[in-house]
Amino acid sequence: MRGIIFIAPPAAGKGTQSDLICDKYGFEHISTGELLRDASEEDNLEALYIKEKIDSGELVDDELIIELIDKKLHNLKTNGFILDGFPRNLVQAKMLNEMIKNFNLKQLYVFNIDVEFSVVMQRFTGRITCPDCGNVYNKLIDELKPKKDNYCNDCDVMLETRADDNEETFTKRFELYADETEPLISYYMEKGVLHRINGNLDTMQIFNQIVNILEGE
């Protein structure tokens, strides 16, 4: 079993890279944002709480997210997984550490996608997602445009801009990343599992850096 974690600001391309890795290696893509967006559509109080947090760009409660991840990891049917959007802070990283002790984990890779703010802004501005499968596209970046304008390549469903992809929420999410998530870089560096990726390049150049590390080159 191999595990991958991303430490990267919002709209750095974690979802896109996760899809490419899963296509190549058959890993399971576990996106906490996606799981939470699904949970926010249920008809209960917890759904309202989650929606409020997502819409304001704040983090949901650690306990709730850890429960979601734990369930997913216990039901894994693949020989690898990608945690996209988790851990987001030190509490979550320490909990993950405990959880994976029960797994026969051969290797944990932590990819820090290092990307400039202006690049992230461009990726964020054009981002459109499929409300059904969560596929991510970008109307401003040629290689990330859907085959048919505004429709998902896989589901043929009309693509949408995520409700939390507005400038105000994005700035808040970016600040939260700097305050809560970025400190994980030194946490994982000390554990010797951190790999820095130049995230200012195009999609395939970023992917190639990741593949080289996974292939041990």
Of 34-73, binders to ligand AMP (CB under 6 A) are 36, 53-54, 57-60, 65
Q: What one-character DSSP code corresponds to residue 155?
A: T
Number of residues that bind ligand AMP (CB under 6 A): 17
Annotated catalytic sites, by residue?
Answer: 14, 88, 127, 162, 173
Q: Is 86 in the site for ligand AMP (CB under 6 A)?
A: yes
Q: Is 88 in the site for ligand AMP (CB under 6 A)?
A: yes
Place of tokens 């054009």: 126
CB of 33 to ligand AMP, least distance (A): 2
d(CA 150, CA 28): 26
Q: Is 33 in the site for ligand AMP (CB under 6 A)?
A: yes
The three-state secondary structure class of 72 is helix
Identify which of residues 32 and 112 has a Cβ nearer to ligand AMP in the complex: 32
CB of 65 to ligand AMP, least distance (A): 4
Closest to 85 (Cα-Cα) out of 33, 29, 11: 33
Q: Give me the sign of the Cα torsion angle 81, 87, 90, 91.
A: negative
Q: How far are the Cα atoms of 31, 67, 69 from residue 45, in angstroms, in the given order?
A: 22, 17, 20
Q: Which region, judged by CB under 6 A, interacts with ligand AMP, from 28-36, 110-118, 141-149, 192-200?
A: 28-36
Of 136-195, binders to ligand AMP (CB under 6 A) are 164, 173
